[in-house]
Amino acid sequence: MKKKTAGGAARLPKAHGVIEGAGDVVRQQITDTLETNYMPYAVSVIMSRAIPEIDGFKPSQRKLLYTMYKMGLLGPARTKSSNIVGQTMKLNPHGESAIYDTMVRLSRGYEALLHPFVDSKGNFGKFYSRDMACAASRYTEARLDPICQELFRDIDKNTVDFVDNYDNTMKEPSLFPTTFPTVLVNANTGIAVGMASSICPFNLAEICRTAAECIKNPEHDILSTLPAPDFPGGGMILYDRQELEKIYRTGRGSVRVRSRYSYDQEANCIDVTQIPPTTTIEAIIEKTIDLVKQGKVKEISDIRDETGLAGLKITIDLKRGTDPERLMAKLFRMTPLEDSFSCNFNVLVQGVPRVLGVRALLDAWTKFREDCVRRRTEFDLANLRERLHLLKGLQAILLDIDKAVRIVRESAEESEVVPNLMIGFGIDEKQAEYVAEIKLRHLNREYILKRTAETEQMEKDIVSLEKILESEKEIRKIILAELDEAARKYGRKRCSIIVYQDELKEVPEDDEPDYPVNLFFTREGYFKKITPQSLRMSGEQKLKEGDEVVQQMESVNSAELLFFTNHCSVYKAKASDFSDTKASVLGEYLPAQLGMEEGETPVYMAVTTDYTGYMLFFFEDGKAAKIDLSSYETKTNRKKLVKAYGAKSPLAACEAIAEDCEFLLTSSQGKLLLFHTGAVAPKSARDSQGVSVMTFRRGVRLEAARRYEEGMLRSPDRYRRKIPASGAVPGADEEEEQMTLS
């Protein structure tokens, strides 16, 4: 028997061994649960895991590299990767596998970065192959790449903040004081909660030059020094100035990358040696094999992976007489040999995720770098002032070294030495402490003169540092010099070549043979394409039991077919995609052939060669939508379009028309309405709900819509109305027509 608690929660009777409160049902607002449980997790993923910061690193990457730096691996010595992984766990508690995966992605052997930060030895796998996995950490070795000197330069001079690690036993940097914009030099992708980041890489020399020019001139034309991204795997970037300007301005957009290949005439094969960064060797081969099996690519006799020590290589053997350029043009259209890199420059700036364009990112990095240089200068200035202050005290004892020795010797207690020196030479406690700590062997004029000779240079250095701190211009001069040095030391030629539109060879698509055909579409979703000659020689159409042909039309083999379904989608195909058949076969079952969803069936077939005209949709609520057929035309080879028509009311009928004409509507009440489609304004939005054409009483619906032809009605003027209208009840002389149309 359940009992009720004071709060209304159900509680089971207490039994021996039952924990107090166990089994209680506590009511809680879901918003409170989200705020207390989900929001902290979301913030943690965004700020501490998936999104890179202005220095270009995620926390896991920064922890790994800093551990390697503290291990002394910024030099010639390597150590086992497992050793590095173990040491990194002092900063990163996420486990050995996660840490090693991070190291692999940063390594030279993995080839995912333009400028790797980890100089690896052993098998670290390849980013362009999902089958080439890295060896275990106990078999590989690593050290920091020389470019990491630019990450850690002056890190011990208070250039960045240090924070406690997860158990408060160590300190780690919150950022790296990078001397060049690493955030734009190496690719970085991550998926957080409700947001993601995808930064494409740029050539280091070009980025340094662009950053320098933006510092000198805020209105600098970025495209003049930064023509396009540069991917470590090479490939050809298809130049689109408008899209690049959008990426540089907003931080969002996409870059088209095409594989590079060569044709071996002797062996009659194509060798693909560079592929887009968004795909893998296996994905390309699998897609190509699939196309060959479907009969869409008939020129290939074999395809295989020949990647080895020389690098990536996919070999495609061709059949005799194949034009390699025409084949590659087809493969670029149909496989990942050409793909897009989607950009989303989402970066944490001062702890806030922001999507920034290239100029804004460079400005944010410049401000960060200015702060690093200012803090380094303040650190050096404070040290110089302290050192100078001590040397001034040492200089004071030059007046009488014997007096200093006598004061030390005659002091009764050790604690009196410093006060007595302060009194004897008029120096402060720090200076006296420094003098008192000088070794006996150094109490000679030569040593003291050498030390104090530095004071003049120190005073000059202090003036110089103070001048830097007083002027933003001087700070920017230092940043410009460091950018120039980084570009000279680590800059290299582009890996990806840029191909402009006028350089692209126009390779026409394979011309499908064009000839007259008869197209048949049945109620059950079967399709047949039959040549006129075959149709003349054929007998009766073979159909599934209970099925019937609902559409039959003459067209050509190059026609585009649009199959509208009961799920408000449209599937696009070409007549040439289907084989010629005969009347004696059932034909192609469209849901299977076009890959429709479960329960999805085609309801209408539209045929076009130029996408002129309109699609008319009639809904059961009496509304009609007239959509430009051009709204279904796409530049890319998309096979499915969702929201092909309005979904607010069930579809009663639809039809494609070349020009406006009259339609006859029939309601479930038996009324008829004849109207001209010119009264309905065309829409470009495919999912338009339409305008009211026929009005009903409650419980009545639109039952049928059919294009009107002369002779269908004996008194057509009786049913012509200005829409919207309820229509007219047919007279006795129209009863036969009404029965036919219903």
Q: pLDDT for 573-624, tens place per residue?
A: 888 888 888 888 889 999 988 888 888 999 999 999 989 999 999 999 999 9
- What is the gyration radius of the CA atoms in the chain, in angstroms? 39
Identify whether residues 486 and 368 lie together within a single domain. Answer: yes
- pLDDT score recorded for residue 161: 95
Kind plus residue range of the DSSP H or E element containing 308: none
Residues sharing a CB contact under 8 Å with residue 693, sequence separation 6 or more, in sequence order = 618, 622, 623, 624, 665, 673, 675, 680, 723, 724, 725
- pLDDT score recorded for residue 741: 46
Burial of 308 (0-12, 13-18, 19+ CB in 10 A): exposed
Q: Please say if 139 is a catalytic residue.
A: yes
Selecting among 38, 41, 139, 500, the annotated active-site residue is 139
Assigned domain for 502 exists:
no
Q: How many whole angstroms separate alpha carbon 89 and alpha carbon 165?
A: 10
Identify whether residues 58 and 23 lie together within a single domain. Answer: no
Residue 636 has pLDDT above 80, yes or no: no
Residue 64 has pLDDT above 70, yes or no: yes
Q: Would you mind telling me the total number of residues written for the chain in this entry?
A: 742
pTM: 0.71
DSSP letter at 12? P
Identify whether residues 323 and 454 lie together within a single domain. Answer: no
Identify whether residues 90 and 21 lie together within a single domain. Answer: no
- pLDDT score recorded for residue 338: 94
> In this predicted model, what pLDDT tens digit does every residue of 199-257 receive, in sequence order?
999 999 999 999 999 999 999 999 999 999 999 999 999 999 999 999 999 999 999 99
Assigned domain for 377 exists:
yes
Identify whether residues 722 and 708 lie together within a single domain. Answer: yes
* Residue ranges in 520-588 assigned as alpha helix (H): 532-537
* Position 303 confidence tier, pLDDT thresholds 50, 70, 90: very high
* Position 4 confidence tier, pLDDT thresholds 50, 70, 90: very low
Q: How many whole angstroms separate alpha carbon 11 and alpha carbon 23?
A: 7
Assigned domain for 497 exists:
no
Q: Sign of dihedral through CA atoms 212, 216, 219, 223?
A: negative
Of 1-10, 34-43, 328-337, 531-540, which has the strongest mean pLDDT?
328-337
> In this predicted model, what pLDDT tens digit does every residue of 81-114 receive, in sequence order?
999 999 999 999 888 999 999 999 999 999 999 9
Identify whether residues 379 and 394 lie together within a single domain. Answer: yes
**731-741: average pLDDT:** 55
- pLDDT score recorded for residue 522: 94
> In this predicted model, what pLDDT tens digit does every residue of 154-212 receive, in sequence order?
999 999 999 999 999 999 999 999 999 999 999 999 888 888 999 999 999 999 999 99
- pLDDT score recorded for residue 22: 72
The CATH code of the domain that includes 81 is: 3.90.199.10
- pLDDT score recorded for residue 735: 54
3-state secondary structure of 253: strand
Identify whether residues 326 and 459 lie together within a single domain. Answer: no
* Position 509 confidence tier, pLDDT thresholds 50, 70, 90: low
* Position 499 confidence tier, pLDDT thresholds 50, 70, 90: very high
Identify whether residues 237 and 355 lie together within a single domain. Answer: yes
Assigned domain for 183 exists:
no
Identify whether residues 589 and 539 lie together within a single domain. Answer: yes
Residues sharing a CB contact under 8 Å with residue 46, sequence separation 6 or more, in sequence order = 192, 193, 194, 195, 348, 353
pLDDT cut 90: percent of the chain above it: 64
Residue 332 has pLDDT above 70, yes or no: yes
Kind plus residue range of the DSSP H or E element containing 271: strand 269-274
Identify whether residues 115 and 246 lie together within a single domain. Answer: no
Q: How many domains does the chain have?
A: 7
Identify whether residues 230 and 349 lie together within a single domain. Answer: yes
Q: Give CA separation, 230 vs 69, 199, 206, 553, in Å.
A: 28, 12, 10, 52
The CATH code of the domain that includes 279 is: 3.30.1360.40
In the block, residue with structure tokens 């691996």 = 73
Residue 77 has pLDDT above 70, yes or no: yes
Assigned domain for 274 exists:
yes
Assigned domain for 190 exists:
no
Burial of 37 (0-12, 13-18, 19+ CB in 10 A): exposed
Stronger pLDDT, 454 or 314, i.e. the higher one: 314
- Among 142-156, 357-371, 382-396, where is mean pLDDT lowest? 382-396
**442-470: average pLDDT:** 86
- Report yes or no: 55 and 368 within 8 Å, Cβ to Cβ: yes
Q: Which domain holds residue 593?
A: 511-609
